[in-house]
Structure formats: structure tokens, C-alpha cells
Chain A
């Protein structure tokens, strides 16, 4: 079949089914926008994880005068402190850097952090324990540090900062799962809409297809116009969804969030653009597959 003939048939088919085609475009656009938003959220979570995990440390708090922990008999002795330090050193390349913070330093930092708050006046340097701040090559290796030092005398507690973040990431992951679930439901709606649109189109053109069959048109050439119509709608829908995703980046993330939350790393343009091919792929695959299935059912070969 010649391309010009196919193109002409496609044009007239789209015109005839205009409202249904429009419905299809909107439905594809909405569902793919949700898919795009979910992917965007996923990319954002990955980026933030990378950003934060690079900064998280393990804090090893040493016993102070008021400590009640099992390991603490009294204030940590210089000997005990040295042993903790040696213990950390013995972990080799797992531990990338060790920073010692004395009670006075901790107090100075505390005063800086809570400047202007009444709490500063009630807390003295004694209330803040001295600690080692340790940076690991891989945050997952926290368990190694914990196992090595938890029972060492003079260690009051070992804190994994990542734990504090994990709850936050759980919320973000939950949001992403929710967006994906809504997107899947919308995709299902799209699939049903495609199938129904194709069915209506096949019924409206049963005269045409019966003639095509009678003169010996191949199944492929009978079905192609219908599939191409659905495909055209999918491409338009995916295009709109892509614009939507790009707008989220430009008008929401860059214009609204980024200026206010300078300490958060947001998804980059290249990560946003990498989502677009997926939208087209998902849009094209779902429509082509569902229209083919529908044709198989409603267009007797």
C-alpha cells in the first residue's frame, strides 16, 4: 500500500472521529503526565539520596558525667577515647575520615544552631557529650562500625544519621508509589478508551473494511489505518505529557521550590529530559497493543 494513500486515509479517519480522537489524546496526556510525575519523583528521590548519603555521618557519642548507658562508668577517660579511635582506625578503608568533637566544640555549634532560643541559656557544655564524627565509604557499612564499637567502654551510643533521613525517604517513596498507582489506573482507562475508540471506528467503517476484505486487502493494510489513528493520538498525548513534565521542572521546581530550599538538590534538566522517551514509549506501546487487540476482536480477518 502506498504511503500517500495511507496518509490520506489516516487524515480522513482522524477528522471523522475527531471527538473520540480528542478524548484519546487527553486521556493519554493525563495518564502519561502522571507517569512522568512519578518518574520525576523517583529521579528526585534518587538524587536526594545521593546528595544526603554523601553527607551523612556516623556519630559515636562518648560517655559524659551524666551518662547512664551500660558502657559508661564515669566520664570517658583519655585512654578509652584513644581505644575508640584505634577501633575506628582498625576498620581500614571503611572509615574515610574521623573528626573529633569536644564538648566545648559541640556547645559552640549548639549555640550557633539555636541562636536566639531560650534553650541555650539552660544548657551548659557539660550536657553535650564529646563525640567522634565518622564518614564511611558506604553508608550501608554502619553495621560494621556499630558491631565493632558498641561494646567498647566509654562509648555511650552510636547514631546513624541515615536513620533520621530514611523516614523522610519513606514518605517520598510512598508518594512515588501512589503516583505510579494512579498512573497505572489512568493507563488502564486509556487502554479501555483506545479499545472502545477503535471498536467504534471499526463499526463506523465496516462498509469500508468489508470492501477492503472483498477486494483482497491484506489484514495488515485493513488494520493499519486504525492503529495509525490510535498511534497519532498517543504521540500527541505523549507530547502534551512531556510538555507537562518540562513545565513542572521549569515553573514549579526551578521557579518555586529551588529558591526556597537551597539545601536540597533538585532533579537536573538532563534527568527530566531522560524521562520523555519513556513517556513516548509507554504511550505508543499501550495504544498500539490495545488497538491491535481490539481490532482482532472487532474486525473479523
Chain B
């Protein structure tokens, strides 16, 4: 469902490419960790998948769509099939938990009835039932990230992209978020998660793709972080 076919990405004013001839296939329903140091190309890969950037050469295919050829006005419809979770949560501070999750449905024009039915369902899935009326500032970091995951998942995306979702959380809270992502993965949703978190990667034993200077240096089923394969 996701294919990188000899993809390179060269940013302007950068001496070397962020991605260099990357070849990769990720199937529907997989759970993939994207690891590597800062500047290794993880973020570039994620940005290419959601069409925040275009590849310099090669093709990126997501959900059978050639992302580079996607017309600008079709991008919104394309993104509705994706869920995105950010390291800094990106919640709206003056909206309640319920409204934050509902926001994802409001802006794509879902009816009030659909929203009333779906949001509590998702809040229960992420373990936030009873906190619908809280503001983000009244929640812990882990709870805020759950709200963000709920918002990303509320439109039932086939692919969930998470960029360092546990980067701002302590280890025990991170475990909770990982369990949540695992639960979402079991519903058939593909999950791609960029991370630095060694403990989490080792614990989950999922597919690991390691990047270094724009190259894939390791692609391993049920891997652990430490096997750098030098």
C-alpha cells in the first residue's frame, strides 16, 4: 500500500540529498518503526507520504495514488484517508477534548449526528471516556497525546502516520500510547511511526526501517533498535 520506488529528495540549499535512492514497500496492516538519528531522512519520508513535499526523483505511491502527480485540490480527499499524529500533539487549546476530536470531522463536513455517534466511540477506544469536557491544559501529556491519536483516528484512516508521538512523554506514559497504537493497528490500520525511543522499539518487536544519511541501512522484521548492522 506504500511504495517508495528509487526515491531521492534534494532540498534547495542543502549539500547532500535528504533521501538517496530509497526503495521500500509497506503492506496494508503493517506496523513499522522508522528509526535513525536526526537528519537521517525520517521526517522527509513522512513528509513525502502526506504530500507535504514532492520527491526530486522516483515515485511515492500511497493507497495506489502516485503522490507527486496528485493534484492540489485532490490533496484534501487524499489526506482524509490518512491519520497524522505529531510529537507536539497540536491540540486546540481553547477547545474541549470532545471538540478537538470532533474538529477532525467538522472540517471535512461530517454531520452533527455522525459526530455525536463517532467521537465518544473513539474517546472510549483511546481511554478518555469521562474527560470529554476537559480542556487540553487540564490533561497530562499522555492524555493530550491520546486526544491527538483519537483525532487522527476519528475518520477511520487506512494509514496512521506518527512522527515521534512519544518524544515528549515519559517512559511509562509512552507505553500506554504504544499499546493504544497497537490496538489501532489490530483494526487493520497501517501504522508508520518515526521514533528515537530505543526501549519502545525493543519492546514492540515490529518491523524496523533504519535510515542513515538518506539511505536505508536496515529493514528487519521483528527487530530491536540496537542491531544497527554496522
Contacts and interface: CB of A to CB of B under 8 A. Distances in A.
B219 to A, nearest CB: 27
Most B CB atoms within 10 A — which of A5, A212, A214? A214
A23 to B, nearest CB: 23
B69 interface: no
Interface in B99-127: 103-104, 106-109, 111-112
Contact of B108 (A12, A217, A219): A217
B92 interface: yes
Interface stretch (B26-34, B55-63, B75-83, B180-188): B75-83
Interface string A200-225: 00000001101111111111011000
A212 B75 CA distance: 12
Interface in A178-236: 207-208, 210-219, 221-222
A215 B90 contact: no
B92 A1 contact: no
B73 interface: yes
A211 B106 contact: no
Interface in B1-58: 50
A211 B101 CA distance: 11
B207 interface: no
B201 interface: no
Contacts of B80: 215-216
Contacts of A216: 75-82, 107-108, 155
B146 interface: no
A50 interface: no
Range for the number of chain A residues in contact with chain B: 10 to 19
Range for the number of chain B residues in contact with chain A: 20 to 34
B172 interface: no
Contacts of A213: 79
A2 interface: yes
Contacts of A277: none
A215 B155 contact: yes
A222 B72 CA distance: 14
A301 interface: yes
B49 to A, nearest CB: 12
A215 B92 contact: no
B79 A211 contact: no
A115 to B, nearest CB: 79
Contact of A215 (B75, B103, B111, B112): B103
Contacts of A222: 107
Contacts of B216: none
Contacts of A301: 72, 75
A212 B107 contact: yes
A221 B94 contact: no
Interface string B153-187: 00100000000000000000000000000000000
Contact of A211 (B50, B78, B92): B92
B209 interface: no
Most B CB atoms within 10 A — which of A1, A211, A219? A211
B84 A207 contact: no
A214 B92 contact: no
B76 A217 contact: yes
Contacts of A1: 106-109
A207 B92 CA distance: 8
A118 B94 CA distance: 84
Contact of B94 (A5, A12, A211): A12
A2 B112 contact: yes
Given A2-B109, A12-B94, A208-B92, A214 B79 contact: yes
Interface in A1-21: 1-2, 5, 12
B179 to A, nearest CB: 23
Contacts of B50: 214
A18 to B, nearest CB: 15
Nearest to A214: B84
B35 to A, nearest CB: 23
B106 A5 contact: yes
B103 A211 contact: yes
A5 to B, nearest CB: 5
Contacts of B86: 214
B90 A207 contact: yes
A184 B75 CA distance: 39
Interface of A: 1-2, 5, 12, 207-208, 210-219, 221-222, 301
Given A12-B94, A216-B107, 6 more contacts: A2-B112, A215-B84, A215-B107, A216-B77, A219-B73, A219-B76
10 contacts: A1-B106, A2-B109, A2-B112, A214-B50, A214-B152, A215-B107, A216-B80, A216-B108, A217-B108, A219-B76
